[in-house]
C-alpha cells in the first residue's frame, strides 16, 4: 500500500519550509519514501507530493510516523497538508466486499 501526502504553502514560506525539512527526523525503516516532488503556481502557491510505501499491517504506525514528520512544519504561515492511504486495486475491492 501507499500513503500520499499533499502539502501546500505560499511562496513566501519556502525558505522556512526548506530550513525545517533539513532538520526533520528520519522516518522509520518500514516506510520507503519517494519524494517530495515540488510544483509551483502563481495562483496556487507551492505544492509538494510525497509517496510512502509500507506493508498494510503497518498502516496505523505509518500514518502516525508520517503525521509526526509533517508536524515539524506547524507554525509556518499558510502551511497545509493532508495524508491519505491508497490500496492496490485487489485490496480496495476486498474492502468493498467484492
Per-residue pLDDT, 27: 96
| CATH assignment at residue 15 | 3.30.70
Using a pLDDT cut of 90, give the percent of the chain over it: 79
Query: Can you tell me the mean pLDDT for 27-39?
Result: 96
Query: Using 50, 70 and 90 to split pLDDT, how confident is the model at 38?
Result: very high
Distance CA 79, CA 19 (A): 14
Using a pLDDT cut of 70, give the percent of the chain over it: 91
Distance CA 1, CA 87 (A): 5
Provide the residue range defining the domain that includes 34: 2-95
Nearest in space to 46 (alpha carbons), one of 3, 79, 4: 79
pLDDT tens digits, 79-94:
999 999 998 877 666 6
The tally of domains found in the chain comes to 1
- Give the pTM: 0.86
Residue by residue, DSSP assigns 37-88 as EEEEETTTEEEEEEEEE--GGGHHHHHHHHHHHHGGGTTSTT-EEEEEEE--
Amino acid at each position: 500500500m501507499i500513503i500520499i501526502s499533499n502539502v501546500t504553502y505560499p511562496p513566501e514560506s519556502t525558505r522556512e519550509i526548506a530550513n525545517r525539512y533539513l532538520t526533520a527526523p528520519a522516518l522509520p525503516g518500514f516506510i520507503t519514501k519517494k519524494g517530495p516532488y515540488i510544483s509551483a503556481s502563481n495562483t496556487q502557491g507551492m505544492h509538494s507530493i510525497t509517496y510512502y510505501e509500507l506493508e498494510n499491517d503497518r498502516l496505523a504506525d505509518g500514518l502516525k510516523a508520517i503525521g509526526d514528520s509533517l508536524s515539524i512544519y506547524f507554525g509556518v504561515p499558510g502551511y497545509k497538508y493532508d495524508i491519505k492511504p491508497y490500496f492496490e486495486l485487489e485490496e480496495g475491492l476486498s474492502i468493498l466486499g467484492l
